Amino acid sequence: MPTLRLERDSPTPVCGVDEAGRGPWAGPVCAGAVILKARRIPKGVDDSKKLSAKRRAELEIEIKDTAVAWGIGFASVDEIAELNILHATGLAMRRAVAALRIAPAFALVDGNYAFDLPCPVRAVVGGDALSASIAAASILAKTARDRLMAEMDEVYPGYGFGAHKGYRAQVHADALRRLGPSPIHRLNWAPVRLALMGKDPMLSFADAMQGELPLGAD
């Protein structure tokens, strides 16, 4: 289970930062930032991917009630297209940190990339399994993004966003081929490009294009 060992070795106040939504075919990327209160860590805080949706929803409330500070930030589909997913993730993280009511002196960020944040950063590979602050941030990012994608299911019906949240799924691929992309699809993502070409989005781009003539060929 994640602990506060990394936090204790860091300047204070220290926040944990994590993202949700780097890989989906549709929707924004979301980041969470959390400064935990050492003596009031909700029981069961863990990497959001290891928790059920019900448990994440319960922990979201507890984290927000007990944390010293928390923040959420999004980067839109247009910003992902303009900046690329890595830099859009950094933008979402900066917005999450800026939303904290207390400015952190240090940030622990999940992954191997030290994003440019308003404070010094330590990148922690597998951080959501090691740092309680990062794990809490992963829960807030995941629940916030899932909630938004459920709302998008009402705005853009037929794609199943409420179920798969924009990720790879057969029902998503079928809807893309039938309806075409929605305004929140990432048009430069390979599966969406394949759908626009009349090909199966579930295939890898290389496999789908095998045997095709290159652009400009006779």
The token pair at 61 is 């409330």
Query: Check: CATH 3.30.420.10 for 5-152?
Result: yes
Q: What pLDDT was estimated at residue 207?
A: 73
Calpha distance 69→66 (Å, rounded): 9
In the chain, CATH 3.30.420.10 sits at 5-152
| Region 45-73 average pLDDT | 97
The amino acid at residue 6 is: L
Q: Which contiguous run of DSSP H or E holds residue 18?
A: strand 14-20
pTM: 0.92
Phi and psi angles of residue 214, each rounded to the nearest 5 degrees, phi first: -65, 160
Residue 148: which of 63, 83, 99, 76 has the closest Cα? 76
Is 92 within 8 Å of 29 (Cβ atoms)?
Answer: yes
Structure confidence at residue 215 as a pLDDT band (50, 70, 90): very low
Task: List C-alpha distances in Å: 141 to 123, 167, 172, 177.
Answer: 17, 15, 22, 29
Q: Which of 36-45, 90-99, 161-170, 209-218 has the lowest mean pLDDT?
A: 209-218
- At 180, list the tokens: 């075409």
Please determine, for residue 137, whether its predicted confidence score (pLDDT) is greater than 90: yes
DSSP string, 127-177: GGGTBHHHHHHHHHHHHHHHHHHHHHHHHSTTS-HHHHTTSS-HHHHHHHH
Please state, in angstroms and rounded to a whole number, the distance separating the CA atoms of residues 103 and 15: 9
